[in-house]
Amino acid sequence: MSYNPYSLEGKTILITGASSGIGQTTAIECSKLGAKVIITARNEKRLNETFLQLHGEGHQQIIADLTVREDLDYLIENITQLDGLVNNAGINKILPVQFINENDFENILKINTIAPVFLMQRLFKKKKFNRNASIVITSSIGGVFSITPANAMYGMSKSAISSFMKFTALEMSIKGIRCNCVNPGMIETPLIDKAVLTTEDRERDIAKYPLKRYGKPTDVAFGIIYLLSDASSWVTGTSLVIDGGITI
C-alpha cells in the first residue's frame, strides 16, 4: 500500500448534512480514503444519492432531523464507535437586523449551534468516541468577519459554535479527542443558491476573492479530511480558514 498520511483507513466517521453540498462531497471523499462513513440528513432521496456514490463497503445511512430529540436518540442508538464526527448540517437566511424575527433566528440557532452541541454531548455521554477521535465542525468565516451583508443571524450562530469548539477541545483533550473547525468562504453549494444573488452581484463578489473564484465542496472536504486524519494529530482547538484569500 502507498504512503498516505491523510489515509482514513480503519476509521468510522459520522457526517451530518451529508445529503447535499459540502457534507455530501466530504462523505464521498472520506470513503475514497478508506473510511467507513455513517451519513445523516432529513431528505431520504438525496441522502440515498450520496450513499450510492460511496466507495467501499460497510457504510450506513440514517435519516434524522437533528433538531428533533427523538431523531437524535435514534441516530445515537444506531451508530457504532466513532473515530471521527463532522458536524456539518446547517442553514442560512439573509435578513437585515431590522427584519430579524424569532422564528428564523430560532431555526438557524437550532441547527447551526444547538444541534451540534447536543450531538457532541450525547456522543460523549454514551462513550461513542474512540480514543484519539477527531471532531470537525463546519463553521464559517461569517462567524469571524462581517463580509456578507445582512448575515447577522448566521454569523452569530457560527461564532457561537466556534467558541464552543474551543471549550470542547480543552475538555476532551484528556481523552485524546480533538476538536477543530473549518471556516469556509463562499462555496458553490445549494446553500448559496438560496442567497438569491443576481449574476452581477455574484460576479462583483467573486472579483473580491484574491483567487478569483468561489470555493468548490472539495476545497472544504480536503481541509476536513486533514483534520480527521492522523496527519493533524497535534492540532486541536483551531479554525482552518478555507476562503480563497477573501479575509486577507
Catalytic positions are 154
User: What gap in Å lies between CA 171 and CA 174, rounded to an integer?
Assistant: 7
Interface residue with ligand NAP among 84, 184, 223, 244 (CB under 6 A) is: 184
Closer CB to ligand NAP, 32 or 46, in the complex: 46
Q: What is the CA radius of gyration of the chain?
A: 17
Residue closer to ligand NAP, measured from CB, 173 or 212:
212
15 within 8 A of 40, measured Cβ to Cβ:
yes
If binding is defined by CB under 6 A, does position 187 make contact with ligand NAP? yes
Which of 14, 15, 22, 86 is close enough to bind ligand NAP by CB under 6 A? 22
**Smaller CB distance to ligand NAP: residue 168 or 189?**
189
Stretch binding ligand NAP (CB under 6 A), from 3-11, 77-85, 184-192, 223-231: 184-192
Q: Does 67 bind ligand NAP (CB under 6 A)?
A: yes
Q: How far apart are CA 179 and CA 85, in angstroms?
A: 9
What lies within 8 Å, CB to CB, of 138 at 6+ separation is 17, 22, 23, 86, 87, 88, 90, 181, 182, 184, 220, 224
Interacting residue with ligand NAP among 34, 60, 65, 197 (CB under 6 A): 65
SS3 129: strand
| 3-class secondary structure, 121 | helix
Select 90 or 177, whichever has its Cβ closest to ligand NAP. 90
Do the Cβ atoms of 138 and 184 come closer than 8 Å? yes
Near ligand NAP by CB under 6 A: residue from 8, 14, 15, 19: 19
| Interacting residues toward ligand NAP by CB under 6 A | 16-23, 41-43, 46, 65-67, 88-92, 111, 138, 140, 184, 186-187, 189-192
